[in-house]
Amino acid sequence: MVDAKYKRGFRREDLYQMLAYCVRLGLDDGHLVYAGGRPSVVRVPVSDREIRLHRHVLDLSLPQAELSSRIDELAGSLARALP
Q: Rounded mean pLDDT of 7-13? A: 85
Q: Rounded mean pLDDT of 14-23? A: 96
- pLDDT of 17 > 90? The answer is yes
Q: How many domains does the chain have?
A: 1
pTM summary value: 0.89
Instruction: Collapse the DSSP code of 59 into the 3-class scheme (helix H, G, I; strand E, B; otherwise coil) and give the result.
Output: coil
> Cα–Cα distance between 47 and 2 in angstroms, integer?
22
Q: Which domain holds residue 13?
A: 2-80
pLDDT tens digits along 45-79: 998 999 999 999 999 999 999 999 999 999 999 99
Q: Rounded mean pLDDT of 23-52? A: 94
- Cβ-based neighbours of 14, under 8 Å, separated by 6 or more: 3, 5, 32
Q: Rounded mean pLDDT of 27-53? A: 94
Q: Are 53 and 18 in contact (CB under 8 A)?
A: yes
